[in-house]
Amino acid sequence: MLRTVFTAGCVFAAGACAAAAGLPSAGMAVVQVVGQRGDAADAASAGSVGAAEIAARPLLRTGELLEFVPGLAVTQHSGAGKANQYFLRGFNLDHGTDFATFVDGMPVNMRSHAHGQGYTDLNFVIPELVRRIDYRKGPYAAADGDFASAGSARIALADDVPGLATTMAGITVGRHGYRRALLAGATAGNLLYGLDVQRNDGPWTVPEDGRKVSGLLRWSGGDRDDGWNVTAMAYRNRWTATDQIALRAVDQVGRFGSLDPTDGGRASRYSLSAARHGQWSSGRVELSAYAVRSTLDLYSNFTYALERPEEGDQFRQGERRTMLGADAAWSWQGTLAGLDLHNRAGVQVRSDRLSPVGLYTTVARRTAAVVREDRVRETSAGVFAETSVRWAPWLRTVAGLRGDAYRFDVNGRRADATIATPKLSVIAGPWRNMELFFNAGHGFHSNDARGVVDGVTPLVRTRGVEAGVRSEPVPGLETSLTAWRLSSGSELVYVGDAGTTEPSRASRRHGIEWNTQYTTGPLRFDLDLAVSRARYTQPAEEGDRVPGALERMAAFDVSYAPLGKRWSGGFNVRYLGPRALTEDDGVRSRASTLASARIAYRFNPRTQLTLDVFNLFDRKASDIEYYYASRLPGEAAARDDVHFHPVEPRTVRLALNYTF
């Protein structure tokens, strides 16, 4: 008999997460949850994170789920209801461009989005219902297409487990008006459910008044070899935002103040998806389909009184989107000239309809004028195939090819584009618990349809290569070292804040990453180090630096979860180095070092109290920094200045969870 227990930060399946929760595992069968970063990987930089590892780390924001990808940093420059800022491999990924994210097979990156290409908002996810995160970096996997040049992450949700139904209720309270209620569990009828309700004011002078509701229903059957699921998800959020402020305005409004107290937004997302996997015609087939309806109204004011001194520069970016898609993949074994082959082929189709997507000038959230409003239809079809060949017991290759076709339609104006992207991986070993990897491939990202019909390059090609080594020198110690390089033909993006498309130059990035994980008994240590260099390759008078590109990053995590004991806990620290804010490197951001800690006490097998502390040492750092011109109310002219969004001060949250 299997018993699934949902507790704060983890889906505890039998004994797999019992250590993290301090729950007894006697009398329970074990459902395997992969927590090793390199399991069955085709690259040294690829891996998986299981529920136990997710449970051990406190999350200030839902988007920080992506920080389980080594070297990826998550920050924020506005209200909590907005998509996060992401940094990886020398990219300021903005809200998601060049990093592809999927939840239960559904793409999260939004094309031709009102606020920015590739917009990735993970606020709809309930972290406790995440079963696993599979990640890979670079454009080397044939199954990854749009936005996957820097990498991709696939977040898998928990399935219902037949057996004794278990329900969990949790209440969390914290500083700055944070309140959270969570109800999650499974019924004997293979139905998984979850409801997450949150309120938060934050430390801001103008309270955030965030109100968020997320829900999930998932009906499933079968097992990992042959099974199916149908999932419905719903999410609504509204908030008041304190956007980044000019450094010179701190004396006027304070670090947590606002220059426009009516900034903020509303967002919603509703989805229905279904998946089926099993054996078919001497192979394995995987089928999935999804429908998503999402809305966003985002009110921002980044330049204050630059364009409209009397009424202010606030604007609204809004969209109403319907996204439909389906994926199919078939895997089968074969032989050629006595060599063992593992083949995989698939097709992926997606259609986005925005009606409308627009940019509007506003005053205190009242529409003053329409800058532009469009009806957009963007459709794509991708096909891929790859073959893994075992040349010798110590040598394997994976060769793949992907083709994508796009149609862009904006108010009846059309443009079409196609692209082919080859992939190659070479895996040698293991020798003495060591494997060597070489990966090369092409990737791409699409540009906003509104720019494409005006002549902007539709699909921008990238070229990547990396070499790495992964080893397990002693039991419990896994380490990997990767050197990589990525070139982009152009970083053309649609600038949603201005309603125009601006081209940038071709660029090249390279770097080194070192990731180490060590487990001994109830102790687990993780250390991630990353160094990167990003430069424009075409000379220009203003300089060759790529503004916002993160150059150095380090993260260290330790967790202690003894099986059957009452106390457990963890500690993590993250360092983000300084980065260029201008192309001539004349202005640089400040470095930041943030730490958080967790301590938990189990009163009995059903009741646990957890204390999380974020920004443990109360550092006065910035989540994000930009350099541009703005004009404060009362100023005679515009001024160039650093604009920043502060990290939240020391924040304490206390959670009580009870299973029944």
pLDDT tens-digit profile of 583-628? 999 999 999 999 999 999 999 989 999 999 999 999 999 999 999 9
Question: How many structural domains does the chain have?
Answer: 1
**Type of residue numbered 373:** E
The CATH number of residue 312's host domain is: 2.40.170.20
Residue 48 has pLDDT above 90, yes or no: yes
Instruction: Provide the residue range defining the domain that includes 642.
Output: 2-659
Helix, strand, coil content of the chain in percent (nearest 5): 5, 60, 35
Distance from C-alpha of 511 to C-alpha of 532, rounded to nearest angstrom: 4
* pLDDT at res. 2: 25
Question: Per-residue confidence at 544, pLDDT binned at 50, 70, 90?
Answer: very high
**pLDDT per position as a tens digit, 496-526:** 445 444 658 899 999 999 999 999 999 999 9
Chain segment 131-183, per-residue pLDDT in tens:
999 999 999 999 999 999 999 999 999 886 444 447 889 999 999 999 999 99
pLDDT bin (cut points 50, 70, 90) of residue 491 is low
How far apart CA 296 and CA 238 sit, in angstroms, is 10
- Read off the pLDDT of residues 559-591 as tens digits, 9 standing for 90 and up: 999 988 999 999 999 999 999 999 999 999 999
> Shortest CA distance to 215 belongs to which of 298, 155, 318, 128?
128
Structure confidence by residue, pLDDT tens digits, 431-453:
989 999 999 999 999 999 999 99
Number of H helices, E strands in the chain: 4, 38
pLDDT-wise least confident of 322-336, 385-399, 435-449, 539-553: 539-553
Model pLDDT for residues 252-268, shown as the tens digit of each residue: 999 999 999 999 999 99
At 287-313, the pLDDT tens digits run: 999 999 999 999 999 999 999 999 999
What are 158's two structure tokens? Answer: 């928990």
The rounded percent of the chain whose pLDDT value lies above 90 is 81
pLDDT of residue 498: 53
**What amino acid is encoded at 212 in this protein?**
K
pLDDT digits (tens, 9 = 90+) for 73-89: 999 988 889 999 999 99
Token pair for 618: 């109360």
pLDDT at 1 over 50: no
